[in-house]
Amino acid sequence: MNLPRTRVLSGIQSSGEKHLGNYFGAIQQHIELQHEFPGECFYFIADFHALTTVHDAAAMREGVVEVARSYLALGLNPDKALLFRQSDVPEVTELAWLLATVTGTGLLERGHSFKEKVAQGLKPSVGLFLYPVLMAADILVYGSTTVPVGKDQIQHVEMAQDMATHFNQTHCAGEPILRRPEWRLSQTPYVAGLDGRKMSSSYGNTLPLFASGKPLRKMIAAVATDSTPLGQPLDPDKCTVFRLLSLFLQPDELERVGGWYRAGKRDGQPFGYGHAKQLLAERYEAHFAAARARREELVANPQQVEDVLTRSAARARAVARDTLDRCRQACGLR
């Protein structure tokens, strides 16, 4: 099979509601890339990976569908990009085994994400330990060249580079089969959460993408700020609300709001964190209003979502089959 010069691939876990960090760190650039590389963007919902934390069948099914709906609502065009379930391409698990046999345990022991999850109290299953091997298989099985992700995933893509090299050196004398992937960061590879730490479902500090109205205002009201009284000068660079606002405002507008912070005043009136939070809630709602409406339509049309997932999986699977066949042959398997 002839591989294109550029193939874009990324995965997103199906566990938990997608949040603002996922959007600005990953999803937004996934959707933009479909215009730059039409037909060559492969996006999948990482349900096999989610099994390391989700052990409830109904939650698993709903999680997958919710991620699919979110991508479609936010603008993924299924004529330009594939969107499929990871588990609909079982070839990845077989390639993961082939990769595991050429990967040293030391490489996995150095994994930041593994160490961090264990430190958070997650029971370290073998699956969690092998997480980067499965992720490498996801990337390598499609001949991916470009992997758009947030900062936290860079090390995993580097591990995939190492595994491709090890496999090629061990099994493919002279003629490498697995291509070297490169990571690609979005313009905002790190989004802070409500408490100022990295926004993450495991810290419970997220803003869900489709939140609106009173619940959204309540969450934004909970963003941690210091206790400077209303009307006193504030430092925008130390403020999580301001950092979040920077995702939604144009540079000139942001500059103006920065001025209000530093003065503690807006048009002669006192300006404080409460006003900044109100502005953030308004902009947030407006930014996702159209996507929220499209998502509601998809909730009412589950078949439409299912059709996209099924059609995309068939195309992805053909590519994966071809790579796996060549890898099996190189290892001396039938």
List of residues contacting ligand AMP (CB under 6 A): 12-13, 21-22, 25-26, 149-150, 152-153, 189-191, 198-200
For the chain, the distance separating the N- and C-terminal CA atoms, rounded to the nearest angstrom, is 19
Nearest distance from residue 197's CB to ligand AMP, in Å? 9
Please name every residue paired with 262 in a beta bridge, in sequence order, or none if there are none.
none
Nearest distance from residue 150's CB to ligand AMP, in Å? 2
103 contact choice in ligand AMP, ligand TRP, none (CB below 5 to 8 Å, kind-dependent): none
Q: Dihedral of the CA atoms 332, 136, 113, 146 (nearest 10)? A: 160
Residue nearest to ligand TRP as judged by C-beta position: 11
Separation of alpha carbons 223 and 233, rounded Å: 19
139 contact choice in ligand TRP, ligand AMP, none (CB below 5 to 8 Å, kind-dependent): ligand TRP
Using CA atoms, how far residue 290 sits from 42, 72, 297, in Å, is: 24, 12, 11
Q: Which is nearer to ligand AMP, 199 or 298 (CB)?
A: 199
Q: Which is nearer to ligand AMP, 94 or 152 (CB)?
A: 152
Q: Is 154 exposed, middle or buried (0-12, 13-18, 19+ CB in 10 A)?
A: middle
User: Is 151 within 8 Å of 189 (Cβ atoms)?
Assistant: yes
111 contact choice in ligand TRP, ligand AMP, none (CB below 5 to 8 Å, kind-dependent): none
- Helix runs in the chain, H state only: 20-22, 28-36, 47-50, 57-74, 91-100, 105-109, 112-119, 126-140, 154-171, 213-221, 240-245, 251-263, 273-287, 289-299, 302-331
Q: Which is nearer to ligand TRP, 48 or 273 (CB)?
A: 48
Nearest distance from residue 113's CB to ligand TRP, in Å? 8
Nearest distance from residue 50's CB to ligand TRP, in Å? 9
Q: Is 209 helix (H, G, I), strand (E, B) or coil?
A: coil
85 contact choice in ligand TRP, ligand AMP, none (CB below 5 to 8 Å, kind-dependent): none
Separation of alpha carbons 279 and 324, rounded Å: 51
- Position 138, amino acid: D
Q: Which is nearer to ligand AMP, 12 or 223 (CB)?
A: 12
76 contact choice in ligand TRP, ligand AMP, none (CB below 5 to 8 Å, kind-dependent): none
User: Binding residues for ligand TRP, per CB under 6 A?
Assistant: 9-13, 46, 49, 135, 138-139, 147, 149, 153, 156
Q: Which is nearer to ligand AMP, 86 or 168 (CB)?
A: 86
138 contact choice in ligand TRP, ligand AMP, none (CB below 5 to 8 Å, kind-dependent): ligand TRP
